[in-house]
Amino acid sequence: MQADDKADDEALVTVTGGVKLVRETLGVPVPKSRFYKDSAAGRAPKPDAIYGRTFLFKPSKMLAWGRSLIRPFSSEAAE
């Protein structure tokens, strides 16, 4: 089995599942509407597959998108 084959074995998630994964893993209280807005603006990940009318995404891409929403805390902003 090649490395590419192993990456293809990753289970896919829907938008609802991906947003739930981001909330549980990263603790970011992101709503689905944020994903849809970022998707329209080209900042969210592109779907990896389509099943019927449902878009499916790799969990790693959803987590990367969730991490992109977090910015470091600046002590200058607190003053």
pLDDT value for 1: 46
Instruction: Give, for 34, the enclosing helix (H) or strand (E).
Output: helix 32-40
Full-prediction pTM beyond 0.75?
yes
* Distance in angstroms (rounded) separating the CA atoms of residues 34 and 42: 12
Question: Has residue 77 got a pLDDT over 70?
Answer: no
Q: What is the pLDDT of residues 34-52, one digit of tens each?
A: 999 999 999 999 999 999 9
Average pLDDT, the chain: 89
* Distance in angstroms (rounded) separating the CA atoms of residues 13 and 5: 18
* pLDDT band, very low/low/confident/very high, at 21 (cuts 50, 70, 90): very high
Give the phi and the psi of residue 51 in degrees, each rounded to 5.
-125, 105
